[in-house]
Structures are given as C-alpha cells and as structure tokens.
Structure 1
Amino acid sequence: MAFVNHFFVATGLSFMLAIAGEMHYSILNLQKLKLSQTVKVVLAIVIESAIWTIVQLAPPFKVTYAKSGLYCFGTSWTSWPAIVNLIFFPAAAVFFAFVYLRIYVKLGLLLRQRTTRLDGVKSTMTQGAQLSSSISGSSAINPENKTRSSFALSGPLLLDALKIKKTKPGAESAAVREKRIQRRFVLRGTLALFNSCCYYVPLWIACLHSYRTGLRSSLEVDKIIVVLGCLSGLCDPIIAAAQDTRFRKAVKDVVARHRHQTASHHDHSVTAQVERSADWVND
C-alpha cells in the first residue's frame, strides 16, 4: 500500500508540473502540444515515478513506514533519495510560481496587443467611412472612384473591422473582457497552487519530521494527510470544470486572433490603401 501511495504522490506532482509546463509552452509559443508529444510525456511520467518509487524502497536505503502503513519515508539525511525528496517539494513550488508568473506576463502582453489592435481597427473604420463618403460625393465626376473606394476598403484588416462592428458588446468592451481573462487566470493559478499545497505540504512536513527524528508519523498525522489528499482530489476536477474550460477557450480565442493579426500585418495595411486611394481621387 505504501508503494502504491508513494507512486501516486510522485505521479500526481509530476503531472501537475507537466500541466503547468504545457500551459507555459502553449501560451508563450502560441501553439499546442501534439498528441504524440502528450503521449510521450505521460509515459515518461509514469515510468519515472515507478523507477523513483522502486529506488527509494529498495535496499540499501532505509525506509520508515508510517503507523498506518499508507506512507513511507527515509530515515537517513545522507541518502540521496532523502535529499531529493526534501528539495523536490520546495523546488516544485518555486517552479509553479515562476511558470504562472511568466504566463501572466505573456498573457498580459498578448491582451494589450489585442486591445491596441482593436483601437487601431476602430480608427481605420472611421477613416474608411470618411473616405468612402468623400469618394461617393465625387463619384458623379469620376465613375472609377467607386472601384477605387472598394479597393481602399478591402484587405485583411477590413475583415477585422467588420467582425468588430458585428461583435457585441463591441470593441469598447474588449479591454474589459480581456482583463477578465487575466483575472480568471490568476484565480486558476492560485486555486491550483493552494490545492496542491493542501496535500503536499503536510506530506513534506511529515517527511521532514521522519528525517529529523527517525520516528514514524503518528496515526493523527496520517489521517490529516489522507483527509487533505481526498479534499484535494475532489477539488481538482471541480476547479478544472469551473475554470479550465472557460479560461482555455478564452486564451484560444486570444491566440487565434493574435495569429490572424500577425499574418495580416505583412499584407497591405488599410491605412496605406486609404492614402493611395486619396491620391487617386485628387488626380
């Protein structure tokens, strides 16, 4: 039983690190992991956790089992598995904080770019409407102005403008919606970190106590670990169902729009087309 629990503790923490790393990779590189890569990561975590559990429980390392028999800890400060166990939990917490901080900064940059883009498209719509009115007024003099007006208002950015015009509540609330995405991400990261700490911190303290005293943890400590582990296991799917779906959908929308905007940036801008058409009108 101690082997099974130790294995699940190792896999659980490894999967949490992998999920944080996947979010870090997806948002910072604006692309998702392939299915084949995901399968390799899962297999690597399972194999690594099994090997790590076997190494700690196998001779020559000494192991102290909890009174409940659910968990086991080393009893020697000099054994390298003990040192790794003590360092791994704080290192994982630092990794979580670092990853979520970088994601937050990158997400904020994407959202600011998106908001700036919406403001630029809105300004382009106004310029295009003014030019269209000007060209329509002079269409009786030069019939070709209609064709030039169509060219002036064409292009990838015009599609963005039309989408924004049809979007409710509109471009004015884009900054508000995207700030909400940031707040949702902060909430998701905080809940994930708190949920993991509720389970792993008591386990790490029991592990530290075993290393310092060489004594087995009491039944009360084991009960606390089990209860917190069950609560953590119940809260995890609730948090995922309540937060992950909406957050990932929102991020996917931001990333998709950012890609479209980056691709359209290399095309002829609407502003340049407006200026070119204005020169034609003056000829």
Structure 2
Amino acid sequence: MYAEKAVVRVHGDLKVQTRFYPHPHSSSTIILVNGSLATSAAFAQALRFLCPLFNVVLFDQPYSGASRVHNRSQAMLGKEDEALILLDLIEHFRADQVMSFSWGGVSTLLALAQRPARIRRAVISSFSPVLNAPMMDYLKRGQEYMAACDRHQIATLVNETIGKHLSPLFKRCNFRHVSTLEVHEYAQMLHHIRQVLSLDTDRYMQCVGNVDVPLLFLNGELDEYTTPTDALYFADLAKRSEYVTIRNTGHFLEMEHQTAWEDVRQAVERFLLAADRVTGLRKAS
C-alpha cells in the first residue's frame, strides 16, 4: 500500500513520523492511536480493512519507532501530552474519525473530551476503565521488569499475558520487537505505568462524560485484562456508546486469527460507515 511519509511538528517542539494512506474516492480520514510498547506497525492488520474505505493516518509517538530519531529531548510524556499530540494531528490531517488500541485509549478519550470539532466517531479497542486483578498483576510485574530494564522478562511477560492468544509467528515478532526497544522507551513505558497506577480511575475516566461523539468499544471475549464486562462501566458515562465483543479472541483482536479479523472488520465498518449513511440521508431529505 502506498503511503505518504512526513515528519509533523506537534505539541511545541516535538516531532512525529507519520504515514498517510490516501484513498482516491473518500473524503473521510481516520487516525489510529497505538498502545504501549507498540509502533504504528502494529496496525498492519487494521490497515487491510480500513484503507479500502478511508484515508488512513498512522504515527509513532515522539519517543518510539520512526519518530524517536527526530526528538533530542528525553523528557517523559504523560497521557495528557499524548492527547495534545493527537489533537494537533487531527487538525493537521483534518481527520474526522479515530481508532485506538489498548492504552492508546487513555490519550484518545482525553483528546475526545476536548470535543475536537472535526471528529464524528471513534473506535476504542481492547480498553476498559477497570484495573482488574490480572491487569494489576501485569502492570506491577511490568513495572518491576522495566525498572530493571530486563528485556527478556518484559517481552516474555507481554507474550504470556495480553499476548497469550497470538499465533506463534506473531509471538516471535512481538518478542523481537519488545525485547529490542531503546532504554528510553522502557523508561517512558515505566512512566506511563506509574502514572496509571497512581491515578484515581475517576480522574481520567470521568472525562468520558464530556465526549459528545458516538463511541464503539471493542473487546475480546477471552481478554482477561480489558474484559467486555469491564468495558461496560463506560456505559453510564458515555451516553452515545456501543459495545461489541469479538468471540474467541483475546487482547490483540484482529491480529490473533482470521475469523477475529473478519469480525472486527464487520463491526468497525458498520459503525464508522453509519456516519456516512446518516449524512447521506440528511442531504437527500
């Protein structure tokens, strides 16, 4: 797939490497927000069903992936900073839809709470407002291993917990990626974990009540860490929200097997294309 690459200045002096996949016949642009320890490469499977429908924007956070070489500063970024980065990118690319994965949901919801005028809909995948027992164990063990910069333990932890339902091929790729990150990337992830563990859930989740666009929450049936049941706690805050459980699938959803990919594709297409159908009906009337 053809992509236009660019380095975009965001949030003051920070720079992010972006990839823009143009669609010749779509006026809608979706921006994807990856999770902790991930780069934009993690959205390879999502690109397969999004690129035939929309313009798609991928980006790496300033401290990771292709963006890291463009930023000399080693300052730690909080989720609030990442929300401001996302808002800048939404304006730059004139994006009207957003899709996040895992802990990328925090910065995405914080950004949406600012009610960016361009955004019409958002998909929040593999995320919940509850730090349940398995997630707390994962975060605390991750905190210990990252503080020690134990690359093997960090990568093994990811594959044995949230990545347990990945195929052997994806587990090998995941292990290679996670175990070869820069020291600063581990430090950044450790900062995020400490931030999440120290925050009162109400403080960063009450913002959802200020989100005024429709939200689709996608969670895997087998995901012990961000369960479909826990995601439903958003229902009282997010009045315009829908919830879809992807059967026989864990945390990594469309990356885990072909049936999961098809189920995620159908759910995302139905939800995101609904905005276009509503707009078309209004124009016709």
Q: Which TM-score bucket, shorter chain as reference?
A: under 0.3
Larger helix proportion, structure 1 or 2?
1
TM-score normalised over the length of structure 2: 0.21
TM-score normalised over the length of structure 1: 0.21
Larger radius of gyration: 1
Larger strand proportion, structure 1 or 2?
2
Higher relative contact order (CA 8 A, sep 6+): 1
